[in-house]
Amino acid sequence: MTSYDYDETISVLVGPEKVKFTAHRDVLSDRSQYFNTACSQRWLEGQQKVVPLPEFEPETFQMYMDLTYNRLVYPETSRALPLVKFYVLVDYLDDVKARNRIMKLLLCRMRCPSLETVAFLWDHTAQGSLLRQWAVDAVSAILEVDKFARMVGSYPAEFVQQIAVNAHRFATIPYPSEGLLRYLDADVEDEE
């Protein structure tokens, strides 16, 4: 069991409005490679004990705090967007356990991301991201060609290309794809 110094706290300023969260430095540093580096005395953030995260929403960081301190993953919703935003945050923070847990939730709870969700994740993830693969696989699995054709111009071009590549594949291979199945496997590190 890890022993933490609960006297050392940091402030995390989230979003453009700089909403302040106070957390134990050791707890965040243990979970996240980003916080581990940022809280180092070699960096200004570590010296000042203030870490800015202006590109994320306070609601999403609150989810991270809930997971870190209470092991809760909110929201209990059928919408994928809050979980996708959470995944993008934990990916940025390089919190592997949280990233794996969110991917499991997306695979178990969500069948098809909305247009808004696909647009967000294409704007906030890199090519080859497992999150992108999840979206492509989920949409491909239930693809209604006529409905998709009416909306094709609204989706990111690369997403549409991947759907086209997957179109023949889902005639015989079920969702989720083999690359994503490892997140449902017991071998993937996760918090209970």
Q: Which parts of the chain sit beneath pLDDT 70?
A: 1-6, 74-78, 110-111, 168-192
In order of 59, 85, 87, 168, the CA distances from 90 in angstroms are 13, 9, 5, 33
Residue 3: per-residue pLDDT: 64
Using alpha carbons, select from 93, 33, 105 the residue that is nearest to residue 60: 93
Q: CB 120: neighbour CB atoms within 10 A?
A: 18
pLDDT tens profile 89-105 = 999 999 999 998 888 88
pLDDT tens profile 64-74 = 999 999 887 76
Residue 95: per-residue pLDDT: 95
- Computed over every residue of the chain, the mean pLDDT equals 83
Query: Is the distance from CB of 11 to CB of 50 less than 8 angstroms?
Result: yes
Residue 64: per-residue pLDDT: 94
Q: What are phi and psi of 30, to 5 degrees?
A: -70, -35
Residue 181: per-residue pLDDT: 66
Query: Is the distance from CB of 131 to CB of 87 less than 8 angstroms?
Result: yes
Structure-token pair, residue 134? 């999840």
